[in-house]
Amino acid sequence: MDETTRSPGDVSGDTDATDGAAGAAVAPPDPGGLPILGNVHELASDALGFYERRSAEHGGVVRYDVFGTEGYLVTDPDAIAAILVEDHDRFVKGEMPREQLGGLLGDGLFLAEGEAWREQRTAMRSAFFRERVAAYGDAMVEHARRTAASWDDGDVVDVRAAATDYAFAVLAESLLGSDVERERDTVRAAAESVTERFDTGRIASFLPAWVPTPTNRRYRRRIGALRETVRDLVAERRAAGPPPDPGAADDLLGTLVAAAALGAIDDDRLVDNAVTFLFAGHETSGLGLTYTLYCLARRPEFQERVGAEVSALDADPTPADVRECPALTAAVDEALRLYPPVHSFFREPTEPVTLGGYRVPAGVVLTLSPWAVHRDERWWDDPETYRPERWLREADGEETDGREVARGDDASGSGVVHGDGGTGPAIGDRPEYAYFPFGGGPRHCIGMRFARQELRLATATLLRRLRLEPVTTELSLRASANTRPTHPVRVRVRARAGRDAAGRCADGARNVGSD
pLDDT tens digits along 81-132: 999 999 999 999 988 888 877 788 888 888 889 999 999 999 888 889 999 9
What is residue 511's DSSP assignment?
-
Q: What is the arithmetic mean of pLDDT over 395-406?
A: 36
Taking each helix axis as running N to C, give the angle between helix 326-338 and helix 448-463, from 0 to 180 degrees, rounded to the nearest 10.
Answer: 120
Alpha-carbon gap, residue 416 to 436, rounded angstroms: 9
pTM metric for this prediction: 0.84
Q: Which domains does the chain have, with CATH numbers?
A: 106-322+333-342+462-515 (1.10.630.10)
Cβ-based neighbours of 316, under 8 Å, separated by 6 or more: 141, 145, 460, 461, 464, 503, 515
Q: Give residue 489's pLDDT.
A: 98
Inter-CA distances, 225 with 219, 230, 275, Å:
10, 9, 11
pLDDT over threshold 50, residue 476: yes
| 50 in Cβ contact with 62 (< 8 Å) | no
Alpha-carbon gap, residue 351 to 364, rounded angstroms: 10
pLDDT over threshold 60, residue 404: no
Alpha-carbon gap, residue 335 to 338, rounded angstroms: 5
Q: What is the arithmetic mean of pLDDT over 320-331?
A: 97
What is residue 38's DSSP assignment?
B
Q: What is the arithmetic mean of pLDDT over 481-490?
A: 93
What's the length of the chain?
515
Alpha-carbon gap, residue 445 to 424, rounded angstroms: 28
Q: What is the arithmetic mean of pLDDT over 240-263?
A: 84
* Percent of the chain whose pLDDT exceeds 90: 52
Alpha-carbon gap, residue 240 to 218, rounded angstroms: 34
Taking each helix axis as running N to C, give the angle between helix 267-298 and helix 326-338, from 0 to 180 degrees, rounded to the nearest 10.
Answer: 110
Alpha-carbon gap, residue 505 to 503, rounded angstroms: 7
Buried b / exposed e along 278-296 (16+ C-beta atoms within 10 A): bbbbbbbbbbbbbbbbbbb
Strand ranges, E, within 101-176: 156-158
- For strands 365-368 and 69-74, give the pairing: parallel
pLDDT over threshold 90, residue 318: yes
Q: Give residue 2's pLDDT.
A: 37
SS3 state at 416:
coil
* Summary mean pLDDT of the chain: 83
pLDDT in tens, 499-508: 554 554 443 3
Q: What is the arithmetic mean of pLDDT over 479-485?
A: 90
- H/E stretch holding 466 reads strand 466-470
Q: Give residue 499's pLDDT.
A: 56
Q: Give residue 384's pLDDT.
A: 96
| 194 in Cβ contact with 481 (< 8 Å) | yes
Q: How many CA atoms lie within 13 A of 8 on its CB side?
A: 17
Closest listed residue to residue 316, CA positions, set 140, 150, 194: 140
pLDDT over threshold 90, residue 253: no
| 285 in Cβ contact with 459 (< 8 Å) | no
